[in-house]
Structure 1
Amino acid sequence: MSIIKSALSQIAHGHPLVTEFKNQVITLKPLPLPSNNIVLVDYTLEGHDDQYEVKFNGPLDVDLSALFRYLTTMNDPTGSKSFPKYEDVIDALNVIMGHSPRGNSEIASIGRSRFFPIDEPTLRTERQGLGWNEAIRGYFQSARPATGRLLLNANVSHGVFRPAGPAINLFTQAALYNMHTLHKNMSKLRARVTYLGDKGETKRVVVKMIQGLASPYTAKGKEAKPPKVKRLGANATEVEFYLTGPTGSTGLIPNRYYTVAEYFQRRYEKTVNPNLPVINIGTSQRPVFMPAEAVEVIPGQPLQRKLNARETPTLITFACRSPVANATSITTFGRKCLQLDSNEKLSEFGVKIEKDLLTINGRELKNPAIQYKNKKDANPREGSWNMIGVNVLKPGAKIDRWTFVHVDPDPRDKEDVTTVMNEQFTKVLTDMGIPIAKTPMHPQGLVVNTRLAHPVDEMRRAFTEIKEASDGQGAQFVFVILAQNDPDIYAAVKSLGDTEFGIHTTCMVRRNLTKGRGLDQYFANVGLKINLKMGGSNHQLKNDIAIIREGKTMVVGYDVTHPPPGSNSPSLVGLVASVDKELSQWPAAAWAQDGRVEMLGERLREKFGERLVLWQENKNNHGRLPENIIIFRDGVSEGQFQQVLEKELPLIREACTKKYPAGGAQPKITVVVSVKRHQTRFYPTDPQHMTKSRNVATGTVVDRGVTQARIWDFFLVAHAALQGTARPAHYTVLLDEVFRATLGQGAAAANGIQELTHEMCYMFGRATKAVSICPPAYYADIVCTRQRAYMTDLFSDSSDTASVGGASTTSRAGYGRDISVEVHQNLRNSMYYI
């Protein structure tokens, strides 16, 4: 950043300019550049004495007026159908608005759009400790085009940052950490290192990367006099290095070993704390040792990994705030952090941000009525209802053979768990209308002890014993009682059950079975999953969705999840499709493709064809293929919308061509993109139209004010957020051959697809509440998550310094499996993943 600042200062000469300090400069008129477009920068800061060449390419014209003409008329004079429009102009506006906060040393930035205050006064109220790290409340901003106007999309954001400040303070705060943890946490932190002059005064301050704590020297080189370090985290009296060369009049004798403490005392007359670890600012092969007093960690360094199971709840609690609190933060702390007021740069470029949040009109769709067996109704309130006194709509296949497995059982609870599983568990399921044998195959359960053997080996032994039971018939269902939430054991259970043994599994945590109170409700929730896995249906809408009730429409959802940056793992695809008009059963397909590739390839044609066959084979469809196909494509960005139509839709049509009679009518197809990861939020203005958590009412739809007239999109808040600020789902219709043909052009088709999407959110089978994203997209995401469980050695990570969610090859589960291996044929056409 400093080098770019220096280069721009040489050529600005009063020209208004902004930059993101990386590869873009926005100016109002051409810059007076040298003939070769190269500016030389003499860089002497941070201990450097170098010269850099900064080369300017371009310029490229950005036509702001063209964007405003488009927003006013919503007509693109070029006739282009691409989306989004005028990306270069929007990008330039984001650079203009981000210049000031990005260039402020008291604000940290992550990516192009997220900014976090790191000045101490703000942090007193806007941060939360996460062990060694800390969460900081910051703000997102991005320019967004809307019909007739340009908007600033701002939202509260939360980032996790690594520790900052003098190393002596950090070591004091981390007194409870062992040296291995402290070494890991210090590694790869950027720090200012103070070098002293002959009389102990500050000579220069250099920015260095911390290797970690001083550790025993393990280099295999031929160094004659290697450093001597007694242990990891050795202090200044325990770290010795060999001094060579002239020493002047310091009293130091060359060609002998000195401790770090001794050297600083003699060389600089500086006494260092003998109780603090010495820091290595060199490399593991060529260490450079500094006392803690000379090192200050630079603030604003984001944590580059996923949070672990202990940290995640803390961040969720910190981020979970009421809509009022978030709205207030945006208009107060947010404006200050983003520097939206009295900003000289914004004024120079003619940008002005209104003081108040935008007020828009929405409408509320009614909560649909829910129906259970024997037409017993449940009327949702704020998107939620209960199952008191009702049975599931349609039971799945009877579970004649089932058993349960104790993982690392607690002797004090084992008998209680056994009693509950033999008596209360089956009673609750039976009362719900789920057929299950009263007695398990192993009344005392099987025991798996992961403390004595590898979890996968122990679980495989248990599954093998189960498979051989009952004259070789094995079990239809295995319930695994976990000692605690353990993702590695969970992954082993699902890998073995889903792909190797072909047995349905459900994991339960022991404390949920021994809590006594509320156990029936817990078992009822588990029962919903069990019934879906066995092919049943839990509930239906009292008034069937109009376009679905005829039994001629198949609904599809698919999603792609990607590995973390820097990982060689594949991207995973999950595809689900309904097989009946009740929208109860959604068999799935899953496969892998090249890492970080969003668009689906040739396998989409094959797997989509299989979904059509499953629909045709369902007895209620009488051998027919669907006349309509509604597809919810999850997770693609606006820049990829056109690729969905150009790359994926043709494969889907080819799959249909192969399955439908030659020369006959092809199905009508509608493609909708569903997105949950966005920054738009809505805050209610009328107490009569809000939930108990003070969010907008369930069923709120917004399709004006923040959308574009030429783009068929809408926001929907189908669910009631129990706490925090509800995040609406954003839906964009890329292609419609179903609703316009059925309901007519204009508002009727728009209303039809909004109502369908809203009512489908009440059809998520494993819950008694509306969900925030429509089930086909939700189910597809769950399928992808399940696929990750089969590859924990590629997708798990516990490193403090690895890339976000980075891959690890030392997963406890260690059950890496080629993703091309299919789910076992016993489960393949079921909702095994739910």
Structure 2
Amino acid sequence: MFATVRLSRWYLIVPSRCQREAGDFLNCMITAARGMRFEISNCEMVPMPDDSPGTYIRTLDAIINRDPQMIMCVVSNSKSDRYTAIKKKCCVERAIPTQIMVQKTITPKSGNVRTLMSVATKVVIQMNCKLGGVPWKVKIPLNGLMTIGFDVCHDSKDKSKSFGAMVATLDHDNRGTPKFFSTVSHHSSGEEISNYLPLNTVKALNEYRREFGELPKRIIFYRDGVSDGQLQYIYDHEVRSLVEKLGQIYKSAGIEQDVLLTFFIVNKRINTRFFDHRLNPRPGTVVDNVVTLPQRTDFYLVSQSVKQGTVSPTAYNVIYDTSGLKIDHLQMLSYKQCHLYYNWSGTTRVPAVCQYAHKLSFLVGQYLHQTPSNMLEKKLYFLSFAVMSSLLRANSSTDRPCTIFHWRFWICTGNENTMSFGAP
């Protein structure tokens, strides 16, 4: 892995009847971590007499006072009551990264240890991310870049409430270890999201300044969860209020020039499909004319591959841009961002920051129902292992080089090595 964090103070909470499976899985995790130069040691297994939510809470209360780096919990089934209780305790009341595993997942099928090793490898990568590590990165030839993703999820218990999640990258010169910042805001029915969007962005900017001593040179903002009928509203309220707030922040820092901001609307709920004769388009295919609107700066990007069915492209619409970058560069940047979702070893259908924001808003809206602790803002604590394999196959692909294929009338290819961003 690109960067790891030593895990030496952690606990494994497990029902007594699952101890054998948990012990075998722990050994597989240590073996898998060793091969990725991720040091895992000193795990203390804590057995429980039963697996009721109350028992998990009492056990967590006893362990949290020992200041653990992480707590792994094994649950007997996928019922949400235990998951909700554990996440509320460790994400809201306290600030401890957790890893929850279902007993069935850590039990090898027909005694096949290879299956267990595959699961252990994925879990180890996810745990490293939750601690602040980075499994991989891609080269982006832009210094001082902050990438932001934003998504909204409605509260599953109270439809009058929703939670907006924002995830931002903190990477100054593309040579160090990338870091992340996340924040969640609660919105009541009829309340303007634009009231919180600039404030949350300012939080990310302040964190960037604390890390590197200066503000980012340019900001790429990916806004998910917006329909075509809301575009004008988003521009009039969210974008304008964001630009105004950014102008104040940068002027207070002695920077008089306009903020280099690009604001994308990302829409994956579309009916458009493309074909390469009888096949799906290759990952990296961009369609930016003929079927796009001439009055917009928009394009379609196929960033993932599917083995069955028809691949669904993602629509990108640039509604505000002062970056000075060419549209080809924005397309390449968006495609590279689809390689940085650490919960999956391939590419995702949307930029990684959008997927992270979706994961965070879903966790809060479906299980926590309140904003998480601020102490977790710099960790990817919201990643979850329980993802349907069919969904992964539909939305992701195996890792591929970052090469964009532009569709004009037929396909013509272009190599990223021949493209220079022409910016520091």
Q: How does the TM-score come out when normalised to structure 2?
A: 0.82
Q: Do the aligned partners of 2:19 and 2:47 also contact (CA within 8 Å) in 1?
A: no
- Is 2:237 the partner of 1:644? no
Q: Which amino acid aligns with 1:520?
A: M
Q: Do the aligned partners of 1:713 and 1:733 also contact (CA within 8 Å) in 2?
A: yes
Q: Indicate how the Cα distance of structure 1 residues 568 and 771 shifts in structure 2: closer, same or farther if over 3 A, else same.
A: closer
Q: Which amino acid aligns with 1:627?
A: K
**Alignment match of 1:436 (pick from 40, 59, 65):** 40
Q: Which amino acid aligns with 1:670?
A: T
How far the C-alpha of 1:646 sits from its partner, in A, is 1.3
**Alignment match of 2:329 (pick from 748, 752, 764):** 752
Distance 2:297 2:244 in 1: 26
Distance 1:403 1:563 in 2: 31
Equivalences for residues 5-404 of structure 1 within 5 A? 392-396=1-5, 398-404=6-12
Q: Indicate how the Cα distance of structure 1 residues 485 and 757 shifts in structure 2: closer, same or farther if over 3 A, else same.
A: same
State the partner residue of 1:625.
215
- Is 2:47 the partner of 1:446? yes
Q: Do the aligned partners of 1:558 and 1:575 also contact (CA within 8 Å) in 2?
A: yes
**Match of 2:222, SS?**
strand
Q: Indicate how the Cα distance of structure 1 residues 448 and 765 shifts in structure 2: closer, same or farther if over 3 A, else same.
A: farther
How far the C-alpha of 1:567 sits from its partner, in A, is 5.1
**Alignment match of 2:20 (pick from 415, 423, 434):** 415
Runs of 5+ in structure 1 lacking a partner? 1-391, 743-748, 792-816
How far the C-alpha of 1:723 sits from its partner, in A, is 2.6
How far the C-alpha of 1:568 sits from its partner, in A, is 4.0
How far the C-alpha of 1:720 sits from its partner, in A, is 0.8
Q: Do the aligned partners of 2:161 and 2:187 also contact (CA within 8 Å) in 1?
A: yes
Deviations 1:481-507 (A, max 9, x none): 121222232222211111112111011
Q: Indicate how the Cα distance of structure 1 residues 448 and 699 shifts in structure 2: closer, same or farther if over 3 A, else same.
A: farther
State the partner residue of 1:655.
245
Q: Do the aligned partners of 1:479 and 1:505 also contact (CA within 8 Å) in 2?
A: yes
State the partner residue of 2:183.
589
Q: Indicate how the Cα distance of structure 1 residues 683 and 448 shifts in structure 2: closer, same or farther if over 3 A, else same.
A: farther
Say which one has the larger Rg. Answer: 1
Q: Do the aligned partners of 1:480 and 1:505 also contact (CA within 8 Å) in 2?
A: yes
How far the C-alpha of 1:427 sits from its partner, in A, is 2.4
Distance 1:493 1:729 in 2: 35
State the partner residue of 2:414.
none
Distance 1:659 1:449 in 2: 53
Q: Do the aligned partners of 2:154 and 2:365 also contact (CA within 8 Å) in 1?
A: no
State the partner residue of 1:705.
290
Q: Do the aligned partners of 2:224 and 2:354 also contact (CA within 8 Å) in 1?
A: yes
Q: Do the aligned partners of 2:9 and 2:69 also contact (CA within 8 Å) in 1?
A: yes
Q: Indicate how the Cα distance of structure 1 residues 556 and 628 shifts in structure 2: closer, same or farther if over 3 A, else same.
A: same
**Match of 2:320, SS?**
strand
How far the C-alpha of 1:667 sits from its partner, in A, is 2.1
**Match of 1:708, SS?**
coil
How far the C-alpha of 1:668 sits from its partner, in A, is 1.2
Distance 1:659 1:789 in 2: 34
Distance 1:758 1:711 in 2: 20
How far the C-alpha of 1:780 sits from its partner, in A, is 0.9
**Match of 1:517, SS?**
helix
Distance 1:446 1:824 in 2: 27
Distance 2:44 2:373 in 1: 22
Q: Do the aligned partners of 2:265 and 2:317 also contact (CA within 8 Å) in 1?
A: yes
State the partner residue of 1:519.
116
State the partner residue of 1:721.
306
Q: Do the aligned partners of 2:179 and 2:378 also contact (CA within 8 Å) in 1?
A: no
Distance 1:601 1:534 in 2: 31
**Match of 1:587, SS?**
strand
Q: Do the aligned partners of 2:25 and 2:120 also contact (CA within 8 Å) in 1?
A: no
Q: Do the aligned partners of 1:395 and 1:536 also contact (CA within 8 Å) in 2?
A: yes
**Match of 1:536, SS?**
coil
**Match of 1:518, SS?**
helix
Distance 2:82 2:70 in 1: 17
Distance 1:465 1:685 in 2: 61
State the partner residue of 1:824.
373
Q: Do the aligned partners of 1:586 and 1:830 also contact (CA within 8 Å) in 2?
A: yes
State the partner residue of 2:392.
none
How far the C-alpha of 1:612 sits from its partner, in A, is 0.2
Runs of 5+ in structure 2 lacking a partner? 384-424
How far the C-alpha of 1:461 sits from its partner, in A, is 0.3
- Is 2:348 the partner of 1:774? no
State the partner residue of 1:545.
140
Distance 1:825 1:568 in 2: 25
Equivalences for residues 445-594 of structure 1 within 5 A? 445-447=46-48, 449-450=50-51, 453=52, 455=53, 457-468=54-65, 473-515=66-108, 516-541=113-138, 544-546=139-141, 548=142, 550=143, 552-563=144-155, 568-581=159-172, 582=174, 584-594=178-188
Distance 1:496 1:418 in 2: 25
Q: Do the aligned partners of 2:132 and 2:378 also contact (CA within 8 Å) in 1?
A: no
How far the C-alpha of 1:674 sits from its partner, in A, is 0.2
Q: Do the aligned partners of 1:608 and 1:655 also contact (CA within 8 Å) in 2?
A: no
Q: Do the aligned partners of 1:626 and 1:667 also contact (CA within 8 Å) in 2?
A: no
Deviations 1:342-366 (A, max 9, x none): xxxxxxxxxxxxxxxxxxxxxxxxx
How far the C-alpha of 1:661 sits from its partner, in A, is 4.3
Deviations 1:358-405 (A, max 9, x none): xxxxxxxxxxxxxxxxxxxxxxxxxxxxxxxxxx00113x22211111
Q: Do the aligned partners of 2:131 and 2:379 also contact (CA within 8 Å) in 1?
A: yes
Q: Do the aligned partners of 1:428 and 1:523 also contact (CA within 8 Å) in 2?
A: yes
Distance 1:661 1:434 in 2: 43
Q: Which amino acid aligns with 1:780?
A: A
The range that moved more, 642-651 or 779-788, is 642-651
State the partner residue of 1:215.
none
Q: Indicate how the Cα distance of structure 1 residues 585 and 723 shifts in structure 2: closer, same or farther if over 3 A, else same.
A: farther
Q: Do the aligned partners of 1:563 and 1:571 also contact (CA within 8 Å) in 2?
A: yes
How far the C-alpha of 1:648 sits from its partner, in A, is 1.0
Deviations 1:717-748 (A, max 9, x none): 1011233322111111101111xx24xxxxxx
Deviations 1:214-240 (A, max 9, x none): xxxxxxxxxxxxxxxxxxxxxxxxxxx
Distance 2:290 2:251 in 1: 45
Deviations 1:642-671 (A, max 9, x none): 222211123323432443343523421110
The count of residues paired between Structure 1 and Structure 2 equals: 374
Distance 2:339 2:159 in 1: 38
**Match of 1:832, SS?**
coil
Q: Indicate how the Cα distance of structure 1 residues 606 and 510 shifts in structure 2: closer, same or farther if over 3 A, else same.
A: same
Q: Do the aligned partners of 1:403 and 1:440 also contact (CA within 8 Å) in 2?
A: yes
Distance 1:603 1:760 in 2: 25
**Match of 2:32, SS?**
helix
**Match of 1:537, SS?**
coil
How far the C-alpha of 1:520 sits from its partner, in A, is 1.8
Distance 2:319 2:220 in 1: 11
Deviations 1:41-95 (A, max 9, x none): xxxxxxxxxxxxxxxxxxxxxxxxxxxxxxxxxxxxxxxxxxxxxxxxxxxxxxx
State the partner residue of 2:412.
none
Q: Which amino acid aligns with 2:92?
A: T
Query: Percent identity among equivalent residues?
Result: 24
Distance 2:375 2:227 in 1: 36
Distance 2:87 2:59 in 1: 13
